[in-house]
Amino acid sequence: MVGAVAVELKGVVKRYHEILAVNQLDLTINTGEIFGLLGPNGSGKSTTLKMLMGLVTPDAGSITVLGKDVQKDPVAVKQLVGYVPESPRLYEFLTGIEYLDFIGNIYDMQTKEKKSRITEYLKAFQLEGREGDMITSYSDGMKQKIALISAFLHRPKLLILDEPLSALDPRSARIVKDFLQELKAQGVTAVMSTHVLEIAQAICDRIGIMYQGKLLALGNMKELRQMSKLPDSGLEDIFLKLTGTGDTRAIVEELLK
């Protein structure tokens, strides 16, 4: 399946009243790709990811995910995809293990496989020993780990991750990074929005920089460097230049006055 299209958006528009959140977006993501969606706050990343999941209906355009039309086949898409929303809402009156067991049941997982995977993931994310505590007692980072495990548990072919590294400590962020690379080797596709530019630079095959609902730039690191005319720069400089907020030093100086 390598080379096949995993996600396709054509002429996608989403308005919230007078706000044009996504403005004529065309984007194709290939199977096995790790695709990073970057952009300042409010640039339309979360809206785009929600539309891929069928949680927000576009006003115009078409979206296919793993060969399915998101509007026509919304349940099939949700079965095939693992999604971590921007601010995951968990059933916090459940314990971690009860919640993950519940998620495994939703995806119709076999009991044995479900239990062994839950145990593996709890261990990998260093939640062992806390799985019997109610989620209300977890830190934000621990809740984020539960949300990630919930998305990974049924081994989906496509992961849609909205700021998956938020609230994670460096070690856990590293685990997610390594894990995504391993999944990629197995042909899994991932689309993720992130503000952690180092990780985007390290693991994303291609990066799309969104600004005011449009894709301002799209390509691998080499192509982005060429586009921004910053041949030796990292993603942070490219991002700041392309999104027009490059003069951060002036802003900081202004704030310190």
Ligand X SMILES: Nc1ncnc2c1ncn2[C@@H]1O[C@H](COP(=O)(O)OP(=O)(O)O)[C@@H](O)[C@H]1O
Out of 43, 46, 48, 172, the residue judged to bind Mg ion by CB under 5 A = 46
Conformational region of residue 14, where left means phi above 0, alpha means psi within -120 to 50, and beta covers everything else: beta
Please spell the DSSP secondary structure of 211-239, one letter per residue.
ETTEEEEEE-HHHHHHHHT-TT--HHHHH
Contact partner, 42, from ligand X, Mg ion, none, Cβ < 5-8 Å per class? ligand X
Note whether 207 binds ligand X by CB under 6 A.
Answer: no
Q: Which lies closer to Mg ion via its Cβ, residue 48 or residue 228?
A: 48
**Contact pattern for Mg ion over residues 160 through 189, marking x by CB under 5 A:** ------------------------------
Q: Which lies closer to ligand X via its Cβ, residue 89 or residue 222?
A: 89
The residues in 19-38 that bind ligand X, with binding defined as CB under 6 A, are 19, 21
Size of the site for ligand X (CB under 6 A): 11
Note whether 91 binds ligand X by CB under 6 A.
Answer: no
Q: For residues 97 and 104, give the distance between their C-alpha atoms in angstroms, rounded to a whole number.
A: 10
Residue 91 CB contacts under 8 Å (≥ 6 apart), including other chains: 99, 102, 135
Note whether 43 binds Mg ion by CB under 5 A.
Answer: no
Note whether 166 binds ligand X by CB under 6 A.
Answer: no
On whether the CB atoms of residues 106 and 78 are closer than 8 A, the answer is no
| Nearest of 222, 242, 204, 224 to residue 43 by alpha carbon | 242
Tokens of 46: 């979360």
Q: Which lies closer to Mg ion via its Cβ, residue 87 or residue 136?
A: 87
The binding site for ligand X (CB under 6 A) comprises 16, 19, 21, 39, 41-47
The binding site for Mg ion (CB under 5 A) comprises 45-46, 86
